[in-house]
């Protein structure tokens, strides 16, 4: 029973982890806490329904197209909305993303309605045995995809020129600019990446929580909490934070009752920040935000 709770906690946690990574990716290079991150995934989920139902695409073509569309959405938001205010302080940037959040919510509600829609692909609850515990195929699939995305991101950030350049821009944008690194292009790239990750999250979450303009609100908050947990700069910290939240809320749900689930994430962050204001892996006062 305990093993089972932990495993399905890790499965949910891995989706929070993807959200947290996307939050960290954007924050590191733009000092922007992107409240609209969840909405990229929400738009992706709605598009997924269209691609499957109206266009009759198969699952993988749909996934690919959703990811590409969300990537484009990320780039669009950066170029059109965020770039003009890019030099402002963090509060202005954050407030602008609140605007994007409401615009995307409103847009989705206007086009697709406010009702919750079922996703044409359903979550596969068939149990599979793993390390002596039972876990559903759907959870296993989500964990696998999350792990795969994590691996690709690790490869990108450590082995590719653009990935290393992205980290260089995080470290010191002025010097990166001096080396000839096109800093603005790199910033667009980070929003593309946040969009692409959101595309995956949208398609993976939709079968579990169904599709509505508000579908991602709670997940975004948890992903954000996980990102803060890790110190907002650290991918590793964000992933650890997300998995801990996933497991903790699942244990709380299993042993205390399901209405305690959400509070657990927040109790954890309050306790952590009380003792470690810089987060789990944060480097204190990286730069003034």
Partner 1 sequence: MSSLQVENLKANYGPITALKDVSIEVPQKSIVALLGANGAGKSTTLKCISGVVKPAGGSIQWDGAAITGETPNAVTRKGIAQVPEGRRIFKDLSVTDNLEMGAYTRSDRAQIEKDLDDIFDLFPRLKERHSQLGGSLSGGEQQMLAIGRGLMAAPRLLMLDEPSLGLAPIVVSQIFETLQRLVAERELTILLVEQNMKMALKVSSFGYVMQLGKVMISGSSDELEENKEVYETYLGIA
Residues within the interface to partner 1 (CB under 8 A): 161, 164-165, 167-168, 170-172, 174-182
- Residue 287 carries which DSSP code? S
For 17, the enclosing helix (H) or strand (E) is: helix 2-30
What's the closest the beta carbon of residue 289 comes to partner 1, in angstroms?
A: 17
- Residue 121 carries which DSSP code? S
Composition of the chain by helix, strand, coil, percent to 5: 75, 5, 20
CB atoms within 10 A of CB 131: 8
**Gap between the Cα atoms of 3 and 216, Å rounded:** 27
**Gap between the Cα atoms of 229 and 47, Å rounded:** 31
270 touches 228 (CB < 8 A): no
Pairing state of beta strands 133-136 and 127-130?
antiparallel
What's the closest the beta carbon of residue 181 comes to partner 1, in angstroms?
A: 5
What's the closest the beta carbon of residue 75 comes to partner 1, in angstroms?
A: 20
What's the closest the beta carbon of residue 86 comes to partner 1, in angstroms?
A: 17
What's the closest the beta carbon of residue 190 comes to partner 1, in angstroms?
A: 16
What's the closest the beta carbon of residue 235 comes to partner 1, in angstroms?
A: 12
CA 281 remoteness from chain centre: 19
**Gap between the Cα atoms of 233 and 235, Å rounded:** 7
Query: Which of residues 115 and 172 has its CB atom nearest to partner 1 in the complex?
Result: 172
């Amino acid at each position: 029973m305990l093993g089972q709770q932990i495993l399905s906690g890790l499965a949910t946690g891995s989706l929070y982890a993807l959200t947290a990574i996307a939050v960290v990716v954007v924050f590191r290079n733009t000092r922007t806490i992107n409240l609209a991150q969840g909405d990229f995934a929400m738009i992706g989920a709605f598009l997924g329904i269209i691609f499957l139902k109206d266009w009759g695409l198969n699952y993988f073509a749909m996934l690919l197209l959703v990811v590409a569309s969300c990537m484009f959405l990320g780039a669009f938001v950066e170029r059109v909305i965020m770039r003009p205010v890019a030099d402002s302080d963090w509060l202005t940037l954050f407030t602008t993303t609140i605007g994007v959040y409401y615009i995307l919510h409103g847009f989705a509600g206007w086009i697709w309605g406010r009702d919750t829609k079922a996703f044409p692909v359903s979550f596969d609850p068939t149990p599979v045995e793993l390390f002596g515990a039972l876990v559903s195929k759907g959870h296993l699939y989500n964990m696998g995809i999350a792990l795969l995305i994590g691996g690709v991101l690790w490869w990108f950030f450590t082995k590719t020129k653009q990935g290393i350049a992205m980290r260089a821009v995080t470290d010191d944008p002025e010097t990166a600019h001096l080396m000839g690194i096109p800093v603005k292009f790199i910033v667009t790239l980070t929003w593309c990446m946040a969009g692409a990750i959101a595309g995956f999250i949208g398609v993976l979450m939709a079968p579990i929580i169904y599709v509505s303009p508000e579908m991602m609100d709670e997940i975004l908050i948890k992903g954000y909490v996980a990102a803060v947990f890790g110190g907002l700069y650290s991918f590793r910290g964000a992933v650890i934070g997300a998995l801990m939240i996933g497991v903790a809320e699942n244990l709380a749900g299993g042993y205390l009752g399901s209405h305690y689930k959400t509070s657990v994430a927040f109790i954890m962050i309050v306790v952590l920040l009380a003792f470690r204001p810089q987060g789990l892996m944060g480097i204190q006062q990286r730069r003034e935000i």
